[in-house]
Homo-oligomer: A and B are copies of this chain.
Amino acid sequence: MRIERDILSKNNDHAAANRVRLAKRRSFALNFVSSPGSGKTSLLARAIGDLKERFPIAVIEGDQQTSNDADRIRAAGAPAVQINTGKGCHLDAHMVAHGLDALKLEPGGLLFIENVGNLVCPAAFDLGEAHKVVVLSTTEGEDKPLKYPEMFAVSDLMLINKADLLPHLDFDVSQCIAHALKINPDLQALVVSAKTGEGLPAFYAWIEARAARWARANAPAAVAE
């Protein structure tokens, strides 16, 4: 318990430092969290293709092993650094600081951080992001917000991905959102498909609107650089 507090306290110091660096570089960071296989990388690859004319985008990829995801992201047209956590089950803010060292972030751009596929541990680790975005796929069942409440409590947006599979599944979208709202009454929820593109205009509008507001709030930090 004491050790856990020390680890989290150290992580929060690194997260605060990351947040200052990101504000100075006017880079709006989103931390994508989910179970393995929810389709985060496909979603980010598609978003990069659709948004790269509007925003410079860079990506930090977290996985226990392999650099497959960073390769897919680079193929989609964005610079990416892969962080392998080895036995670690989540990214921490110190790892992300090293990722920031390695990436050239353009002012006014987006930083997508794809966390390790894990619906538990990444909830406890602030990375310095503006928002956590939790991705839940329709194949996972609508009870996940009740079973893994921490993750839904700390996220500001829930993307229900793989909407294209809805006709073939028993997944109840409204019940899933109902469960999530019980945990987090402010949570925004959007139904999307990285495969067909369904629902992505609303996701992109959310990014643009939040990034614009974040930029206004963080303008003083940018000026103070």
Contacts and interface: CB of A to CB of B under 8 A. Distances in A.
Interface of A: 172-175, 177-179, 181-182, 184-190, 192, 198-202, 204-206, 208-210, 212-213
* Oligomer: number of copies: 2
Interface of A is mostly: helix
Contact of A208 (B182, B186, B202, B209): B182
Nearest first, the 3 closest Cβ-Cβ pairs linking A and B are A178-B205, A185-B209, A177-B202
A210 B185 contact: yes
Contacts of A179: 205
A199 B175 CA distance: 8
A200 B185 contact: no
B190 A177 contact: yes
A174 B188 contact: no
A208 B199 CA distance: 27
B205 A177 contact: yes
A201 to B, nearest CB: 4
Contacts of A189: 188, 190, 202
Nearest to A198: B174
A204 to B, nearest CB: 7
6 contacts: A174-B190, A174-B198, A177-B202, A182-B205, A182-B208, A186-B186
A121 to B, nearest CB: 25
Nearest to A177: B202
Nearest to A181: B205
Given A188-B188, A188-B189, A189-B188, A199 B174 contact: yes
Nearest to A175: B201
A163 to B, nearest CB: 10
A177 to B, nearest CB: 4
A19 to B, nearest CB: 19
Contacts of A172: 201
